[in-house]
Amino acid sequence: MRKWTLLLLLAVAATCMAAPAKSIYDFTLDTIDGKPVNFSSFQGKVVLVVNVASKCGFTPQYAGLEALYEKYKDRGLLIVGIPANNFMAQEPGTNEEIKKFCSNKYNVTFPMMSKVSVLGADQAPLYAFLTDKTANPQTGGDIKWNFTKFLFDRQGKPVARFEPATTPDSPEVTAAIESALGK
């Protein structure tokens, strides 16, 4: 009986101890419409993850993000907008309100996820991974504001991080995207 108890405890422990995330493919978020999407479905794409907000001084970057998406989507770029209300309550709306705003004001066609927290005690697991300096020494560190951008290669590994003031059409962003698409 002890042998079976020990084996059962080991099996339970093994399933409870999740392996640490190695790429964005290890995460699932809900779309802005509430449907779960596993980021493993993005395999083979170059992905730009951006925490967004609709009442921020950087909100006009939606236009630049949409332009990037239109320019590079056929070559394999996927932009993922993730609303967050962590900075001065600049994303107070519901998912439905956010979707309507993005569609009506900026004609956003790239995928939008449901609103999450990007820092603090309720930080989404994806953002815990993105900001982890041990897992991602080149791109880790706390999110400082809305419109922080993380670029991932086709294997789901982070290759660049751009702070909010760096616009989507900046030479640094387009060069990094071109490089990642070329590999």
Residues of the chain with pLDDT under 50: 4-17
Cβ atoms of 106 and 67 closer than 8 Å: no
**Which residue is it, tokens 């994303």?**
91
CATH annotation of 23-181: 3.40.30.10
pLDDT for position 2: 57
pLDDT for position 21: 75
pLDDT for position 64: 98
Query: Is the whole model's pTM more than 0.95, yes or no?
Result: no
Q: What is the DSSP letter of 49?
A: E
- Enzyme catalytic residues: 56
Counting other chains too, the contacts that 72-75 makes at CB distance below 8 Å and 24 or more residues apart are 72/46, 72/177, 72/181, 73/110, 75/181
Q: Give the tokens for residue 178.
A: 């071109």
Each residue of 110-133: pLDDT tens digit?
999 999 999 999 999 999 999 999
> Minimal CA–CA distance to 146: which of 160, 171, 130, 166?
166
